[in-house]
C-alpha cells in the first residue's frame, strides 16, 4: 500500500492531530495534502473507491471539501497520487523479473503472474480502478497524468516486449489473443476473489493453483522460444 499499515495511525496522529506550531505556509500546505492522502487511503481501503465521497475524505482529514479541491482536481486525482508508489514498485519488480537470466521464459511468466496476483490482493481498491478503467495503448498517446503513463509502460513491457520475444505461435495475432486471454483469466481470478470478500494475503496460496493452470493453458498454445 502507499502507506505502511503498521504506521498509518502514527502518520494520522502527527499529520491530522499533530501540533502545527512553527510550521511555515509551505509546511502547512504539505501537511494538509498529506492529511488528505492518508485520510483518503484509509477510506478507500475500508469502503472501496466508488463508495467514498469527497466530503467523507474531508471529514476524515479534518478539513473542508473545498480545501481538498484546492489540492486535488477530484477524487480520481487523489487515487492517482496514492497509486504512484505501488505502481513504481510494480513496474520495478516486473523489470527485475524480466532481467533474470537464470530462469526460462515459462518461469518468468509464472513469476509475472504471481506478481500480478500479489499486487491485486494487496492493493484491492487500487487494482479495481487500475485494471478496470479504459486505456488506449497507443504509442502516440500524450499522457495527462502518471496513472496512464504507468499503465502504458506496463502494457508496453509485457505485450510489446516480453510476450513477442519469449513465446511464439504460427500466427503473431494468435499470440496477442493468447496473451490477452491469460490476462483476462488472471483478472477474473482476482476480481472474483475480491468480490467474495476474502481478499487477505494469507489466502494468496489458495489461488496459486488457478494461476498455474492459466499459465499451463497459455503454454499449450504459445511455445516458449
| Shared domain check, 41 and 109 | no
More confident residue, 4 or 107: 107
More confident residue, 22 or 147: 147
Helix-strand-coil percent breakdown of the chain, rounded to 5? 75, 0, 25
For 66-85, the pLDDT digits (tens) are 999 999 999 988 998 898 88
More confident residue, 95 or 126: 95
Of the pLDDT bands very low, low, confident and very high (cuts 50, 70, 90), residue 211 is: very high
- Residue 174 DSSP code: H
| Shared domain check, 14 and 99 | no
User: What sign for the dihedral angle of Cα 112, 116, 119, 122?
Assistant: negative
Tell me, rounded to whole angstroms, the distance of Cα 121 from its chain centroid.
10
Mapped onto helix, strand or coil, the DSSP state of residue 196 is coil
Domain that holds residue 28: 5-72
Give backbone dihedrals phi and psi of 61, rounded to 5 degrees, phi first.
-95, 0
Specify whether the CB–CB gap between 117 and 204 falls below 8 A: yes
Is it the case that residue 8 has pLDDT exceeding 90? Answer: no
**155 part of a folded domain:** yes
Of the pLDDT bands very low, low, confident and very high (cuts 50, 70, 90), residue 191 is: confident
| Shared domain check, 215 and 108 | yes
What is the helix (H) or strand (E) element at residue 168, kind and residue range?
strand 167-168
Is it the case that residue 222 has pLDDT exceeding 80? Answer: yes
Is it the case that residue 204 has pLDDT exceeding 80? Answer: no
CA atoms within 13 A on the CB side of 201: 8
Please say which residue of 25, 42, 72 terminates a domain.
72
- Residue 123 DSSP code: S
What's the domain count of the chain? Answer: 2
| Shared domain check, 86 and 67 | no
pLDDT at 105: 95
How far apart, in whole angstroms, are the C-alpha atoms of residue 173 and residue 69?
Answer: 45
Q: What cell numbers appear for 38 in the block?
A: 492518508
Tell me what the mean pLDDT of segment 2-30 comes to.
47
| Shared domain check, 192 and 120 | yes
Residues shown for the chain? 225
For 101-145, the pLDDT digits (tens) are 999 999 999 999 999 999 988 888 888 777 665 545 454 444 456
Mapped onto helix, strand or coil, the DSSP state of residue 134 is coil
Specify whether the CB–CB gap between 158 and 137 falls below 8 A: no
Averaged confidence pLDDT in the chain: 81
Burial class (CB in 10 A: 0-12, 13-18, 19+), 184: exposed
| Shared domain check, 175 and 149 | yes
Please say which residue of 21, 39, 72 terminates a domain.
72
Give how far Cα 214 sits from Cα of 87, 102, 184, 194, Å.
Answer: 24, 23, 10, 18
pLDDT at 162: 94
For 140-170, the pLDDT digits (tens) are 444 456 777 888 888 889 988 999 999 998 8
CA atoms within 13 A on the CB side of 161: 11
pLDDT at 12: 45
Amino acid at each position: 500500500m502507499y502507506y505502511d499499515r503498521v504506521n498509518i495511525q502514527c502518520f494520522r496522529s502527527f499529520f491530522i492531530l499533530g501540533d502545527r506550531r512553527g510550521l511555515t505556509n509551505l509546511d502547512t500546505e504539505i501537511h494538509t495534502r498529506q492529511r488528505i492522502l492518508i485520510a483518503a487511503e484509509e477510506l478507500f481501503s475500508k469502503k472501496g473507491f466508488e463508495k467514498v465521497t469527497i466530503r467523507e475524505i474531508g471529514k476524515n482529514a479534518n478539513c473542508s471539501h473545498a480545501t481538498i479541491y484546492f489540492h486535488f482536481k477530484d477524487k480520481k486525482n487523489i487515487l492517482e497520487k496514492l497509486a504512484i508508489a505501488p505502481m513504481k514498485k510494480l513496474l520495478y519488480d516486473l523489470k527485475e523479473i524480466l532481467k533474470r537470466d537464470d530462469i526460462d521464459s515459462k518461469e518468468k511468466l509464472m513469476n509475472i503472474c504471481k506478481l500480478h496476483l500479489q499486487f491485486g490482493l494487496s492493493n484491492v481498491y487500487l487494482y479495481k480502478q487500475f485494471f478496470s478503467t479504459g486505456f488506449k495503448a497507443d504509442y502516440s498517446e500524450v499522457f495527462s497524468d502518471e496513472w496512464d503513463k504507468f499503465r502504458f509502460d506496463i502494457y508496453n513491457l509485457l505485450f510489446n516486449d516480453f510476450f513477442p520475444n519469449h513465446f511464439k505461435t504460427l500466427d503473431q495475432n494468435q499470440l496477442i489473443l493468447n496473451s490477452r486471454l491469460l490476462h483476462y483469466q488472471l483478472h477474473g481470478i482476482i476480481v472474483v476473489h475480491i468480490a467474495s470478500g476474502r481478499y487477505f494475503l494469507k489466502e494468496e496460496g489458495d489461488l496459486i493453483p488457478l494461476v498455474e493452470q492459466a499459465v499451463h493453458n497459455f503454454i499449450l498454445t504459445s511455445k516458449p522460444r
